Amino acid sequence: MNVTPKTLRRLSELDAAGLTPANQRDALEKVAAQYAVAITPATAALIDRADPNDPIARQFVPDAAELATRSEERADPIGDDAHSPVPGIVHRYPDRVLLKLTHVCAVYCRFCFRREMVGPGAEPLTAKQLDAAVDYIGVHPGIWEVILTGGDPLVLSPRRIKNVMSRLAAIEHVKVVRVHTRVPVADPDRITREMVRALKLKGKATYVVLHANHARELTDAARQACARMIDAGIPMLSQSVLLAGVNDDAQTLGALMRALVENRIKPYYLHHGDLAPGTSHLRTSVEHGQHLMRALHGRLSGLCQPGYVLDIPGGFGKSPIGPVYLSRDSAGNIQVEDFNGASHCYPPTT
């Protein structure tokens, strides 16, 4: 009899799958007690058990290093709470809001900036809270875009997704709905034709933003899941997090960006690691991130260039932090640097 693989949620299950070192068991018990653990069968199948530095494992398998919290780290590193007028809504920017439908994910990333609030014990929005959130969007005509996030909205059923999308579609001033998700790579079977139909809005634009950090995550099944959405007319973008030991070299990062573009997914954001508790072992320096962006510039197609951004701690929003190619000389001329590092003079406008 065939047994359907299940999502690994307990350390004993990770142990049985050969994913955790025996000499870290006590420390990992403490990590798992503090931060949610879930590794789907699709994700577990990607992990190379023979490689102690496997980049997929590094994203999802608990690590004793998560117990080390630095003074600059914060439970709410990007300041969601400061901009949450009603439960489920984050209204940081004038023309768009986040709508956090659930705090549950298909997989739990070890670097998650919401790791203090996501997990199987977290409460989803109640019916009354969802009503209040939709009402908030409805009475603020400046809201042009709604971003469904969480947690991961696509862990919900197509029926629930369709209900939310239909309610947003009825709001005249909402023109765009953006869905942020890891499901197409973490659990691609969930992207059914029914789910795709639920995501489409008549008279509105739907975008799906895929979170992927390594080219190996784009398996055949993941590519097919993305193609189902794209072929149905839903444009896809990507967001990735710059992670030490995962994608922090130019070859690996470039391979990810090319794999995304080859699958009709436009790289959108490369996030600098947020100051979430217990994640310092996964963060790089800003300078290293800028060096990587320089390495991609000019050597990879413009289609492969994401915006390198940092979410300013405290809720002040994202800022681009990519390398700067312009300077001025003593005569006031603009000096512009090309992708080979050579400087060229550009006369100032008079």
E strand segments, 145-295 = 145-149, 176-181, 205-211, 236-241, 265-271
- Which of 54, 76, 92, 162 is catalytic? The answer is 92
- Find out whether 176 and 168 touch, Cβ atoms under 8 Å: no
Q: Is 304 a catalytic residue?
A: no
Distances (CA, A) of 275 to 94, 98, 294: 25, 20, 24
d(CA 350, CA 337): 22
Residues 108, 112, 115, 269: which is the catalytic one?
Answer: 112
Residue from 9, 74, 96, 294 carrying the catalytic annotation: 96
Packing angle of the helix pair 127-138, 158-169 (nearest 10 deg) = 30
Active site residue 112: yes
Answer yes or no: 311 catalytic: yes
93 flagged as catalytic = yes
Q: Residue 140 in 3-state DSSP?
A: coil
Largest Cα separation within the chain, whole Å, is 79
Q: Which of the residues 35, 54, 105, 283 is marked catalytic?
A: 105
Q: Write down the catalytic residue from 15, 74, 93, 160.
A: 93
Q: From residue 346, how far is each of 324, 333, 342 by CA, in Å?
A: 15, 6, 13
How far is it, in rounded angstroms, from Cα 277 to Cα 280?
A: 8
Q: Is 183 exposed, middle or buried (0-12, 13-18, 19+ CB in 10 A)?
A: buried
Q: Which of 54, 58, 274, 308 is catalytic?
A: 274
Q: Known catalytic residue: 114? A: yes
Q: What DSSP string runs through 16-41?
A: HTT-S-GGGHHHHHHHHHHS---B-H
Known catalytic membership, residue 204: no
Catalytic residue among 114, 178, 182, 190: 114
- Catalytic site residue from 109, 115, 269, 283: 109
Residues with catalytic function: 92-93, 96, 105, 109, 112, 114, 274, 311, 318
